[in-house]
Amino acid sequence: MSVPFNNPLPIPVLGFCAYSGTGKTTLLKKLIPELNRRGLRLAVVKHAHHNFDVDIPGKDSYEMRKAGARQMLVASHVRWALMTEDPVEDAPELPHLLAQIEADKVDIVLVEGFKKLALPKVELHRAAHGKPFIHPHDEHIQAIACCDDTELPSDLRRLDINDVGQIADFVIEYANNWRPSTPSLPLAPECGCELDTSKTLSVRQGIDKILSYVTPVSATEEVAIDDSTDRVLAQDAISPVDVPQHTNSAMDGFAFAYSDPMLDSYTLVGDVMAGHSYQGTLNLGEAVRIMTGAPMPDGADTVQMKEMAEDSGDSVRFQGNIRLGQHVRQAGEDIAKEQTALSAGHRLKAAHQGMLASLGFGKLPVYRRPKVAVFSTGDEVCQPGEPLKPNCIYDSNRFTIKSMVKQLGCEVIDLGILEDNESALVDALQGAAQQADVVISSGGVSVGDADFIKLALAKVGQINFWRINMRPGRPLAFGQIGDSLFFGLPGNPVAVMVSFMQFVQPALRKLAGELEWAPTLVPAIADCTLRSRTGRTEFTRGVYHLGADGRLHVTSTGAQGSGMLSSMVKGNCLIVIAEKDEQLNVGDTVYIQPFADLL
């Protein structure tokens, strides 16, 4: 009986279903203030079966709509309403309706009605009504709220229909556990079937193999919060305080004790500025002028903003509808005392540092920095700053690699440019592995390259030479020298950067103790034709921007030679053309991987 449902919003949607007469609206009218009191911001979508109207004949908005405006938006400083004439034959489409909700303004959408949709729901049931159950025919029922004496299948979550607090607990638990469904990403599928799996790997296979060799560092140290940028937190930071510390006003206005109905006028008994507090307890009928951030006086639970009040010196009158608890920030609503404010495994950036500082942390336990040795190979490769020898090129790879390594909070050991000579290389590799957790070289790993690099690597450790089905960056060497990991990146400068982003970055993040990192991949609309080959992942350098249509668009940086570092400079993302795609046309959706994580 159920019709599929795709939630278009980045927030949870939970339905309440029941036969009419069960008291759905009565319950929601009690549940909504209870959830508000607990800090959950709500939107409600209600299905009305009849030809309802929210406007009144004679109002301008009503008359203009009746005159033929298909959409009528009426707005004041407190509220706006959009009325749309959208006659459809059956029920309106819930995903379309949900798309109208402003997901940044609310935490969850409660839906009344739309019983037939495959939407997660709570069933409400009162045995006294003699109506059948809904859950035997609807696998999307998450819980049933009924009376004490109702018999239910034992595995269904049971709630007391007369206990609003318990139903609110369930909604909050549901919202906290909810996760948006992730679209299938272009890097996800294991290709492999048609390939020689010993040496030729898909990007995903390469990443998985590499990560299976990485053991995170365990040593920790304490650093001042100032020195913690890009370090990884080694222990959960437990908040020693409530944030905010006191229940306080979110507006400049008036604090008072809510009553229903509200009183006509309130006697003003004081002023509370930020950093001060009101000594004494407010009685019903009394109010204080209060500034944003100032603690709520005892006895007060609600704030009205000053723009919606008439202050006549000794007393104040309020305009508009007032909700219990409005414009009040509860003590601990951001972070509660004794709660984990930030769990171990987070890389510390400005926002983390600010939050931990706000809790009073002066020092933080972090994992030691991984040590990364970097060198270049090739007789043609010269040190920048020195005269260029004939037929030679300047070393750029060591500089892009070192910069990205530092960006990931690692310590760099620069081994310079190594001579194309086997015994020198063996010495250098063994020395590097003794000092570093990871050794990274560039050049000399392609088929037909001077063999001494491969010979040297074979002497010092176990190294695999892979062909990755990607462009740029097809050759990749990976293995172990002693206890260190070794990455032999390609020689071409763009290939080096792309291979680093795809393979070295996840390894260094895992090594550094970072948990749950995944590359940022976002969909964008192609503004140019993009070519690839089936079975190969193409990383085209692109520029993304926000289009006039409010969507992300991307275009290639132009010529894509794997030596052309200018394409990395011009670009702000990699356009990831999946293995399954051969050609993408203008208007197609592609995934992009912004550089911002690393460059």
Using CB under 6 A as the criterion, which residues of the chain lie in contact with ligand AMP when the complex forms? 376, 378, 380-381, 393, 395-398, 442-444, 446, 449, 490-493
The reply to whether omega before 472 is within 30° of 0 (cis) is yes
Q: Maximum distance among all alpha carbons in the chain?
A: 95
The distance of closest approach from Cβ of residue 488 to Mg ion in the complex, given in angstroms and rounded to an integer, is 11
Angstrom distances, CA of residue 126 to CA of 46, 121, 148, 155, 166: 21, 16, 10, 19, 17
- Which residue number, 206 or 443, has a Cβ lying nearer to Mg ion? 443
Phi-psi region of 219 (alpha: psi -120 to 50; beta: other; left: phi over 0): beta
DSSP-derived pairing of the beta strands 470-471 and 462-468: unpaired
The distance of closest approach from Cβ of residue 472 to ligand AMP in the complex, given in angstroms and rounded to an integer, is 11
Residue 123 contacts which entry, Mg ion, ligand AMP, none (Cβ below 5-8 A, type-dependent): none
Nearest of 213, 216, 210 to residue 368 by alpha carbon = 216
Nearest of 223, 200, 267, 227 to residue 476 by alpha carbon = 200
Q: What backbone torsions phi and psi does residue 464 show, to the nearest 5 degrees?
A: -100, 140
- Which residue number, 275 or 390, has a Cβ lying nearer to Mg ion? 390
Residue 248 contacts which entry, Mg ion, ligand AMP, none (Cβ below 5-8 A, type-dependent): none
Residue 581 contacts which entry, ligand AMP, Mg ion, none (Cβ below 5-8 A, type-dependent): none
Q: Are 121 and 136 in contact (CB under 8 A)?
A: no
- Which residue number, 393 or 528, has a Cβ lying nearer to ligand AMP? 393
CA 406, chain centre distance (Å): 24
Q: How far apart are CA 412 and CA 374, in angstroms?
A: 7
Q: Are 584 and 576 in contact (CB under 8 A)?
A: no
The distance of closest approach from Cβ of residue 563 to ligand AMP in the complex, given in angstroms and rounded to an integer, is 6
Residue 499 contacts which entry, Mg ion, ligand AMP, none (Cβ below 5-8 A, type-dependent): none
- Which residue number, 120 or 444, has a Cβ lying nearer to Mg ion? 444
The distance of closest approach from Cβ of residue 455 to Mg ion in the complex, given in angstroms and rounded to an integer, is 15
Neighbours of 295 (CB within 10 A): 21
Residue 113 contacts which entry, ligand AMP, Mg ion, none (Cβ below 5-8 A, type-dependent): none
Q: How far apart are CA 4 and CA 283, in angstroms?
A: 53
The distance of closest approach from Cβ of residue 11 to ligand AMP in the complex, given in angstroms and rounded to an integer, is 47
DSSP state of 500: I
- Which residue number, 43 or 565, has a Cβ lying nearer to ligand AMP? 565
Q: Are 252 and 290 in contact (CB under 8 A)?
A: yes
The distance of closest approach from Cβ of residue 524 to ligand AMP in the complex, given in angstroms and rounded to an integer, is 30
The distance of closest approach from Cβ of residue 375 to ligand AMP in the complex, given in angstroms and rounded to an integer, is 9
- Which residue number, 24 or 398, has a Cβ lying nearer to ligand AMP? 398
The distance of closest approach from Cβ of residue 209 to ligand AMP in the complex, given in angstroms and rounded to an integer, is 21
3-state secondary structure of 22: coil
- Which residue number, 300 or 425, has a Cβ lying nearer to Mg ion? 425
Residue 594 contacts which entry, ligand AMP, Mg ion, none (Cβ below 5-8 A, type-dependent): none
Residue 446 contacts which entry, ligand AMP, Mg ion, none (Cβ below 5-8 A, type-dependent): ligand AMP
- Which residue number, 380 or 483, has a Cβ lying nearer to ligand AMP? 380
3-state secondary structure of 403: helix
Residue 395 contacts which entry, ligand AMP, Mg ion, none (Cβ below 5-8 A, type-dependent): ligand AMP
3-state secondary structure of 268: strand
Residue 380 contacts which entry, Mg ion, ligand AMP, none (Cβ below 5-8 A, type-dependent): ligand AMP
The distance of closest approach from Cβ of residue 438 to ligand AMP in the complex, given in angstroms and rounded to an integer, is 18
Residue 376 contacts which entry, ligand AMP, Mg ion, none (Cβ below 5-8 A, type-dependent): ligand AMP
β-partners of residue 471 are 538
**Structure tokens belonging to residue 394:** 């300047």
- Which residue number, 400 or 555, has a Cβ lying nearer to Mg ion? 400
CA atoms lying within 13 Å on the CB side of residue 395:
24
The distance of closest approach from Cβ of residue 368 to ligand AMP in the complex, given in angstroms and rounded to an integer, is 28
Secondary structure (H, E, C), 318-380:
ECCCCCCCCCEECCCCCECCCCEEECCCCECCHHHHHHHHHCCCCEEEEECCCEEEEEEECCC
- Which residue number, 397 or 572, has a Cβ lying nearer to Mg ion? 397
Residue 442 contacts which entry, Mg ion, ligand AMP, none (Cβ below 5-8 A, type-dependent): ligand AMP
Q: How far apart are CA 444 and CA 420, in angstroms?
A: 9
Q: Are 576 and 520 in contact (CB under 8 A)?
A: no
Residues found near Mg ion in the complex (CB under 5 A)? 378, 443-444, 491
- Which residue number, 117 or 418, has a Cβ lying nearer to ligand AMP? 418
Residue nearest to ligand AMP (CB): 491
The distance of closest approach from Cβ of residue 542 to ligand AMP in the complex, given in angstroms and rounded to an integer, is 23
The distance of closest approach from Cβ of residue 384 to ligand AMP in the complex, given in angstroms and rounded to an integer, is 10
Q: Strands (DSSP E) along 66-156, which ranges? A: 71-75, 80-84, 108-112, 121-124, 141-146
- Which residue number, 241 or 426, has a Cβ lying nearer to Mg ion? 426
Residue 490 contacts which entry, Mg ion, ligand AMP, none (Cβ below 5-8 A, type-dependent): ligand AMP
